[in-house]
Structure 1
């Protein structure tokens, strides 16, 4: 099938529906398999470290941090690189292949008796770095594959792949760990990276990106940072995403221990609540394209923001019989999952809309640097506040804190329903 999104003529024909576009289906399939593989490794790698290698709490903390640390170390540079490139797909394929090799070394080292916790940490860092670079170049690449009018729907499709993986992945991981042990379950993640590389390699859309002229890495990084800081919409999006993720990190640092020790919920029910979040994500991905077509990305994003404190407040209020806590928290987890997906999809679509083509890689990298990097700070703050104030008060702090996202939006053009570019 030939790529359907050619330059429009004076007649401006309607683009072919995404579900019928071969290139988009390939990208979506690649995202689906890698997200599923990541869910398997999210369980199998810590189990390998803790159960088979006897990792200490400090080593487990380093292992967790190794996956997100690349956002802080190379996130901004990856964005500058993405804007310099004329072709993005070769870099995406290379990132997948390097990640596949890194994950394959873990079961190989286990077989040969040479696997250590430092090696797991190193491989987690390598895969995390590949993920950061992949996401940096994938953002501007999407604009060459998907028509401008379909980007919100395309981003929603990617979010649905993540939601499906978050629902089905943990169960698959548990089965694989039981059947073939944790180190060999990691091979599934390696195979998912390899399959993703093969799928992306088959994308046929011509890459029309015009590379930005190199002017020095730090000069280009400053341009990306400056664009986000000066642009009222991008600044508000970045501030909102950072606020949401910081207080989300605070909440998630304490959620499991709060559910187990304060609400006395069995571990299985805690897992069910988490699965409800993924179900909400699926529902959100299904309805967001329709909502944005009717109301616009700005209005949908604002409405999603209003829902964020609900999940935290209900958790803080929960108590009494386990069935009641489960019912309330499962319901709000579905709502929260829908809100997160709606916000993420609209944030991506608005960022594409508002960012000059030659700066998309750097702007996206700046967004990722702040919104993903702050998760570590939120988790550390959550643990510290939980020790000082107790668990339930910190949930209330999270609810109040995430509500301040409305300040970022209220002081920006995002408060208006219009989706017209403010550039």
Structure 2
């Protein structure tokens, strides 16, 4: 719902330019550059479940401020940027903590199934969310549709409190070990693992061009294709439909073709569908955008389930937070730059030109994988020596 309602607040309510929507998208992801690395070290010093709950409460309060400001007639782009930045920081802690928390809840042999189940639930919500968000925007306006997001974050915190599995206390840092030393240990672990390095490079490229798309797709769908908010929401649900199908198929595909092969095959086979994005037109021709989104995000989810499960199996428990944070810093840190480039290209040459650049970029995603040792492997090792 945020994916639809937040940029629509900027585009419809505040008449934002393409560059401003790019800055808004950059603000949502800038936190991975600002606090991405130390977040992992902090989380490795804390129990993960309280971090998840607090992050949800912070996001709920930030989102609730937008409809309140709209009701008072005081909503500005500056507030949108600030809310995007605050929710982004909370999301950094939530994402790093939840990926580090799952291996403590599940046996190793159930991690792939567990990650697949989480992707299924997330993708199911993303199927309904954009359509519902678009309908709410048409009924009550974009700012007030965001009130539902605030309620959703609070419900998430309530459900998380229902987890009863005891969480052991984190290991105490070595005497005299600084935060900087702990961050360095996570960096060293990632850079000394060849497969982790290539996964980081691949995901960074994919996220860069995904951020370009996120920055311009609202302008493209609303101002170029002339779609109303409800139709735009349904159009953006197509990516989640593809993601849901990918989550349901990820485990089966990994077993059928191999956990290493599925990592490079999924973006190689689905990436070219991105070229359908800029071919979308008015009326029925808008369906090309939906087909492209469904195919590309099918491959993205299959890729993510495979590589995240591998990372969790590879890394020692005491390094999980720092490993996940290091990779998040590397792969999400490209997104603010992609968003800014998308907004700049759209402002200079039009939204369709920016979508063309984004589509061409998706063809580059599998290149690092094809040049790596993964290309000659069927399955992935489940352990590796701790580096550093």
Partner of 1:103: 63
1:46 CA displacement:
3.5
Partner of 2:35: 74
Among candidates 150, 154, 158, match of residue 198 of structure 1: 158
Quote the Cα distance in structure 1 between the aligned partners of 2:80 and 2:110: 40
Partner of 2:50: 90
Partner of 2:311: 351
Partner of 1:239: 201
1:176 CA displacement:
2.1
Quote the Cα distance in structure 2 between the aligned partners of 1:66 and 1:415: 39
- Do 1:308 and 1:402's aligned partners in 2 also have CA atoms closer than 8 Å? no
1:126 aligned counterpart, secondary structure: helix
Partner of 1:375: 335
1:114-193 alignment runs, 5 A limit: 114-193=74-153
**Alignment CA distance shift 1:403-1:253 (3 Å):** farther
1:16-415 alignment runs, 5 A limit: 39=1, 41-53=2-14, 59-85=20-46, 87-208=47-168, 210-211=170-171, 213=173, 215-250=177-212, 267=227, 273-315=235-277, 318=279, 330-382=290-342, 387=348, 391=353, 394=357, 397-407=360-370, 410-413=371-374, 415=376
Quote the Cα distance in structure 1 between the aligned partners of 2:235 and 2:281: 17
Quote the Cα distance in structure 2 between the aligned partners of 1:232 and 1:257: 39
- Do 1:243 and 1:402's aligned partners in 2 also have CA atoms closer than 8 Å? yes
1:56 CA displacement:
6.2
1:399 CA displacement:
4.5
1:207 aligned counterpart, secondary structure: coil
Which of the pair has more CA radius of gyration? Answer: 1
- Do 1:233 and 1:414's aligned partners in 2 also have CA atoms closer than 8 Å? no
- Do 1:100 and 1:194's aligned partners in 2 also have CA atoms closer than 8 Å? yes
Offset from partner CA, 1:314-339 (integer Å, 9 cap, x none): 457x589975x556654443322211
Quote the Cα distance in structure 2 between the aligned partners of 1:115 and 1:393: 33
- Do 1:247 and 1:401's aligned partners in 2 also have CA atoms closer than 8 Å? no
Where structure 2 has 5 or more consecutive residues not aligned to the other structure, the ranges are none
In the superposition, the TM-score normalised over structure 1's length comes to 0.78
**Alignment CA distance shift 1:66-1:205 (3 Å):** same
1:204 CA displacement:
0.8
Quote the Cα distance in structure 2 between the aligned partners of 1:91 and 1:160: 23
In the superposition, the TM-score normalised over structure 2's length comes to 0.84
RMSD: 3.2
1:100 CA displacement:
1.6
1:343 CA displacement:
0.5
Where structure 1 has 5 or more consecutive residues not aligned to the other structure, the ranges are 1-38
1:297 aligned counterpart, secondary structure: coil
